[in-house]
Chain A
Amino acid sequence: MYNEKVVDHFTNPRNVGELTDADAIGETGSFKCGDTMKIFLKVKDNRIEDIKFLTFGCGAAIASSSMMTEMVKGKTLDEAMEISNKDVSDRLGGLPPLKLHCSNLAADALHDAINNYRKSHEAV
């Protein structure tokens, strides 16, 4: 059901874990299946210096989280904001139709983290 790339990111997910000194945290959950994803960001000079994730979800959700973190590391916040859910699933070489919503978690969680970062940094 999943292609090799998805299985690879599922079995060897990149950037798993928490950043205890994160500059921002993003979180999202799927209404459809109840699964959740948490993103930790370290930002330097408006660039994503480090990113980590934790995901409670299916194979597609774990693979999407992993792929998304690889895609945005080193990118500016603006560039990272541009990344869409579809970009993530495309980079994974596609997901089964029923599983597309799982990849939606990844970009949404990232955008949530960036928004949270901006909110807290505009405030100071």
Chain B
Amino acid sequence: MTKKLIYMDHGATTPVREEVLKAMLPYFNEYYGNPSSLHAPGREVRRAVEEARQKTAAALGAKPEEIYFTSGGTESNNLVLYGSAEKRASAGHIITTGIEHHAVFDVCQDLEKRGHRVTYLPVDRYGRVSPADVEKAITSDTFLISIMAANNEIGTLQPVSEIGLIAKSKGILFHTDAVQVVGQLPLDVNDLNIDALSLSAHKFNGPKGVGALYIRRGTKITPLYRGGGQERKLRPGTENVPGIVGLGKAVELSVAEIPTKRAATEKLRDRLIAGLLKIDDVILNGHPEERLPGNINVSFRHIEGESVLLSLDLEGIAASSGSACSSGSLEPSHVLKAIGLDHPTAHGSVRFTLGLGNSDADLDYTLEKIPLIVERLRNISPTYHSRQ
């Protein structure tokens, strides 16, 4: 008997879907030309790259020439943050939040060391930033507002459209890290007044190691790398052609499916939340409604998240605690701290992220196992005993 596997960590990464893999395969050995070459094999491949660019642009309501392929969300975030700071003649001011992904947060901290000033806006207990706070934080030298479209840990959606409007009225560059949102919810960079947007293929059933940065036409940023003319010199280096083709196919499919997929995922999400909240002393983290379709983040009070994950894993259920990238740290995540959770509650947090392939049967199994796991661990817990 093969071991049961229920994958509920789609926020960390997703499986590449068959259609995407099929689209990519010929670009490893059949169409292997360099898209910069003038000969026929090169031109063939160039066409595929440009087709992927068109698909990516179409998914965001952008123009193809506003899409730059990168190695993923981290690089896209780095490129726009460093690139817009570098373009300036002197140091300036950036507005962000206290709950950004490290690919934005750490860059902001580094930019502070280089002389820029950064305002890290607080969030409410649901993880939402207030547009009024954004407006208040603006100074005469604010050159960038970088606020994620949805939080990767607790799933809370930010009021991107209001923030975009504020940024536009002041003529400030507005970047959003939309890595968790693309392919999950509809996004239109013009409707939302977004000037720059980061996305990553492996979050919507595309390959790992490829992403894109949308930059509104006319926005000036400095490249991070030199040494080639690719991606209009903004991101030199021979293109990851199979990856780019996969990204294009994945974004096309996942965005087209949003209307049908979204409702189904939200239904599963709400069912899992309701089931978990039936257990004593469980808290839902993040916003009750304004959250990603597949995100569930709860704190099991009196027990520790890793113990829960380990127990789930032994039952064949893959989930995560907070962001997979920070699981090497013992500190509770900066996001959980920012929404005001005390240390033990933050420590008991577990994230389930649903996606392609998850079914009601997965939920039945999970909801059958979790109460047993929680009870077992609480029986070992000193704080649970002293509570009674």
Contact = CB atoms under 8 A, between A and B. Distances in A.
Interface in B310-355: 310-311, 314, 328, 330-332, 343-344, 347
A115 B332 CA distance: 32
Interface stretch (B67-75, B358-366, B380-388): B380-388
B306 interface: yes
B99 interface: no
A56 B383 CA distance: 7
A33 B333 CA distance: 11
Contacts of A38: 382
A38 B380 CA distance: 10
Given A34-B344, A98-B328, A58 B307 contact: yes
28 contacts: A2-B310, A10-B307, A11-B311, A13-B380, A16-B379, A17-B379, A27-B382, A32-B330, A33-B347, A34-B343, A35-B304, A35-B347, A36-B382, A36-B383, A38-B382, A53-B380, A54-B380, A54-B385, A55-B381, A56-B381, A56-B382, A56-B383, A56-B384, A58-B307, A58-B310, A62-B307, A62-B380, A98-B330
A83 interface: no
B306 A58 contact: yes
Interface residues of A, number: 27
Interface of A: 2, 7, 10-11, 13, 16-18, 27, 32-38, 53-59, 61-62, 98, 101
Contacts, number: 58
B344 to A, nearest CB: 7
Of A2, A36, A57, which is in contact with the most chain B CB atoms at under 10 Å from its CB? A57
B306 A55 contact: no
B381 A58 contact: no
A66 to B, nearest CB: 9
Given A18-B385, A35-B304, A36-B383, 19 more contacts: A2-B310, A7-B314, A11-B311, A27-B382, A32-B330, A33-B330, A33-B331, A56-B302, A56-B303, A56-B304, A56-B344, A56-B381, A57-B304, A58-B304, A58-B307, A58-B310, A59-B306, A59-B310, A61-B304
Interface of B: 302-304, 306-307, 310-311, 314, 328, 330-332, 343-344, 347, 379-385
Chain A to chain B: the 6 pairs with minimum beta-carbon distance, closest first: A54-B382, A58-B306, A33-B330, A38-B382, A59-B310, A34-B343
Nearest to B302: A56
Contacts of A2: 310
A71 B359 CA distance: 45
Contacts of B332: 34
Contacts of B302: 56
Nearest to B330: A33
A98 B385 CA distance: 28
Nearest to B329: A98
Contacts of A35: 304, 347
A10 B382 contact: no
A58 to B, nearest CB: 4
Contacts of B383: 36, 56
B381 A54 contact: yes
Nearest to A54: B382
Contacts of B328: 98
Nearest to A1: B310
Of B304, B332, B383, which is in contact with the most chain A CB atoms at under 10 Å from its CB? B304
Contacts of A56: 302-304, 344, 381-384
A29 to B, nearest CB: 10
Contacts of B307: 10, 57-59, 62
Contact of B380 (A7, A27, A55, A101): A55
Contacts of B384: 56
A116 to B, nearest CB: 16
A2 B303 CA distance: 19
Contacts of B344: 34, 56
A35 B344 CA distance: 8
Nearest to A17: B379
Nearest to A29: B382
Given A2-B310, A7-B314, A98-B328, A37 B304 contact: no
A73 B304 CA distance: 27
Of A10, A17, A18, which is in contact with the most chain B CB atoms at under 10 Å from its CB? A10
B334 to A, nearest CB: 15
Contacts of A33: 330-331, 347
